């Protein structure tokens, strides 16, 4: 076996043994930990994620102009709602309102009807304020603070941008129908959530 | 020497695979907690043959009827199924749930077998009616300690995927032998439904 091959084996073995289980790169010193906590919070909270998914799909179906409105209105109001929520000393959970929001936005996606720009603007504001407020009260308890809320808002912005842009670009009829089917799923989840909440298991 | 080089390459390949497949976190025993809710929801629709056959039959029938039934039926079903699930969660009883599910397989199988060309409104009413029974029976069985939201997401997504399987199989309708095969599949669903009805009445 040549020296080259031995060196390859040693290098590969080192790579295996030095493989990091978790990459925690300098977050303590940069102070950006809560920002990433916020991003992770959105990814790990299906009740928030589903709401963003629903309005992202809806604004994409309605067109580029509606998508642009949602892109800025939703994260901004999310942040404002979150700052208001930070002032509360107890964590507030309103699963009924979340379920109703899934129900309404999901049905609008499934229906694929034209809606005025003002409507989507209002809807994005209401959703953003509601979910942001709930996140804010949760962050106040977890000690995440403004930076965590900012992380959530940035994640919402990116997610809406990707989703709305994707849906706006869809031209094939079957692709738009797939989005509408997704809307019916979100409605169905909202209905079941209402039931679970009634039973106290939401 | 060449043999040694081949061995080294194999070694490197295996070690590279180990590196790539190395888990950052060991998430064994996912049967509990929030992720368990999602997996339970996914598993539930596919674990009951009565539910599976009826879902696939909806997709097959939609494929036979063509547009717009092809996508309208799979949109209607999850929403009405969730409505049935909500009734169950709210404690509103529905008489003869198991009988209704068995009859759904018989009726939907018969529709596929006979290639029934009903009006879209009537097809929607039939599918919606039986969806309530499926939702009432299957949408409410959440094990204690699991997330209702994640269970709902898994349940609705799995049901939708079963419709997708039915539609995908139904694509063979464009060929004459495919049409025959679909009718045969409808007959199988119908016979299975009679078997389920026998069990429900016994």
What DSSP line would sit under chain A, residue for residue? Answer: --HHHHHHHHHHHHHHHT--SS---SHHHHT-HHHHHHHHHHHH-HHHHHHHHHHHHHHHHH-HHHHHHHHHHHHHHHHHHHHHHHT-SS----HHHHHHHHHHHHHHHHHT----HHHHHHHHHHHHHHHHHHHHHHHHHHT-HHHHHHHHHHHHHHHHHHHHHHHHT--SHHHHHHHHHHHHHHHHHHHHHHHHHHHT--
State residue A84's pLDDT score. 92
Separation in Å, CA of A196 to nearest CA in chain B: 6
pLDDT of residue A1: 58
pLDDT value for B30: 47
CA atoms within 13 A on the CB side of B67: 3
Q: Give the best residue of A180, A195, A197, A200 to mutate against chain B (max B CB count within 10 A).
A: A195
| A11 or B125, which is more confident | B125
A108 confidence band (pLDDT: 50, 70, 90): very high
Evaluate whether ipTM surpasses 0.90.
Answer: no
Q: Does B188 touch chain A (CB under 8 A)?
A: no
Q: Across the interface, do B142 and A201 touch by the CB < 8 Å criterion?
A: yes
Answer yes or no: are the C-beta atoms of B190 and B105 closer than 8 Å.
yes
Min Cα separation B146/chain A (Å): 8
Q: List chain B residues with CB under 8 Å of A41.
A: none
Any CB–CB contact under 8 A between B78 and chain A?
A: yes
Q: Which pLDDT band holds residue A94 (cuts at 50, 70, 90)?
A: confident
Gap between the Cα atoms of B33 and A22, Å rounded = 22
pLDDT of the residue at B31: 46
Question: Are residues A8 and B76, on separate chains, in Cβ contact within 8 Å?
Answer: no
Q: Residue B43 and residue A189: Cα distance in Å, rounded?
A: 16
Give the residue-averaged pLDDT of A81-94.
85
Tens digits of per-residue pLDDT, A161-186?
A: 999 999 998 888 888 888 998 999 99
Contact B24 A22 (CB under 8 A): yes
pLDDT for the residue numbered B140:
65
Burial B160-183 (b: 16+ CB within 10 A, else e): bebbbbbbebbebbeeeeeeeebb
pLDDT computed for residue A33 by the predictor: 74
Q: Helices A3-17 and B2-21: crossing angle, nearest 10°?
A: 10
Chain B residue with minimal CA distance to A187? Answer: B79
Q: Is B86–A187 a contact, with Cβ atoms under 8 angstroms apart?
A: no
Span of A8-22, A100-114, A144-158, B152-166 with lowest mean pLDDT:
A8-22
In tens digits, chain B (202 residues) has pLDDT values of 455 555 557 777 777 777 777 666 655 554 445 556 788 888 888 888 888 888 888 888 888 888 887 778 888 888 888 888 888 888 888 888 889 889 999 999 999 898 888 888 888 899 889 889 888 887 667 666 677 888 888 888 888 888 888 888 888 888 888 888 888 988 999 999 999 899 888 7
Show residues of chain A in contact with B82, CB under 8 Å: 187-192
Statement: residue A188 has pLDDT above 60: yes
Q: Is B121 on the interface with A (CB under 8 A)?
A: no
- Residue whose C-alpha is closest to residue A1's, from B150, B8, B163, B149: B8
What lies within 8 Å, CB to CB, of B94 at 6+ separation is B84, B87, B88, B100, B132, B133, B136
Residues, chain B, total? 202
Total residues found in chain A within this entry:
202
Per-residue model confidence as pLDDT tens digits over A49-85: 999 999 999 999 999 999 999 999 999 999 999 999 8
Tell whether B128 lies on the interface with A, counting CB pairs under 8 A: no
Residue B59: predicted pLDDT: 86
């Amino acid at each position: 076996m040549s020296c080259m091959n031995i060196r390859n084996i040693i290098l590969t073995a080192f790579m295996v043994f030095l493989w990091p289980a978790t990459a925690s790169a300098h977050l303590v010193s940069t102070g950006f930990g809560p920002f990433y906590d916020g991003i992770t919070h959105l990814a790990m909270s299906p009740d928030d994620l589903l709401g963003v998914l629903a309005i992202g799909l809806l604004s994409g179906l309605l067109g580029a102009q509606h998508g642009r409105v949602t892109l800025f209105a939703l994260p901004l109001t999310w942040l404002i709602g979150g700052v208001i929520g930070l002032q509360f000393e107890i964590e507030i959970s309103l699963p009924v309102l979340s379920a109703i929001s899934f129900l309404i936005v999901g049905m609008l996606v499934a229906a694929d009807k034209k809606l005025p720009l003002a409507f989507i603007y209002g809807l994005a504001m209401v959703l953003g304020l509601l979910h942001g407020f709930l996140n804010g009260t949760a962050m106040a308890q977890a000690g995440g603070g403004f930076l965590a809320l900012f992380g959530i808002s940035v994640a919402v912005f990116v997610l809406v941008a990707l989703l709305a842009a994707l849906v706006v670009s869809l031209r094939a009829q079957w692709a738009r129908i797939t989005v509408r089917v997704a809307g019916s799923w979100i409605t169905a989840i909202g209905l079941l959530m209402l039931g679970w909440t009634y039973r106290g298991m939401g | 020497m060449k043999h040694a080089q081949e061995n080294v390459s194999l070694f490197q390949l295996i070690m590279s695979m180990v590196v790539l497949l190395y888990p950052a976190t060991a998430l064994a025993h996912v049967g509990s907690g929030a992720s368990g809710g999602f997996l339970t929801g996914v598993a539930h629709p596919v674990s009951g043959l009565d539910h599976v056959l009826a879902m696939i039959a909806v997709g097959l029938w939609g494929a036979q009827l063509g547009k717009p039934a092809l996508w309208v039926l799979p949109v209607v079903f999850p929403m009405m199924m969730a409505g049935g699930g909500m009734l169950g969660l709210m404690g509103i009883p529905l008489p003869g749930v198991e009988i209704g599910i068995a009859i759904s397989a018989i009726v939907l199988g018969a529709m596929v077998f006979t290639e029934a060309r009903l009006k879209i409104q009537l097809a929607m009413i039939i599918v919606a009616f039986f969806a309530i029974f499926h939702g009432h029976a299957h949408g409410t069985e959440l094990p204690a300690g699991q997330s209702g939201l994640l269970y709902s997401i898994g349940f609705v997504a799995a049901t939708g995927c079963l419709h997708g399987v039915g539609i995908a199989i139904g694509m063979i309708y464009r060929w004459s032998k495919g049409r025959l095969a679909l009718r045969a599949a409808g007959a199988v669903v119908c016979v299975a439904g009679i078997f389920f009805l026998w069990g429900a009445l016994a």
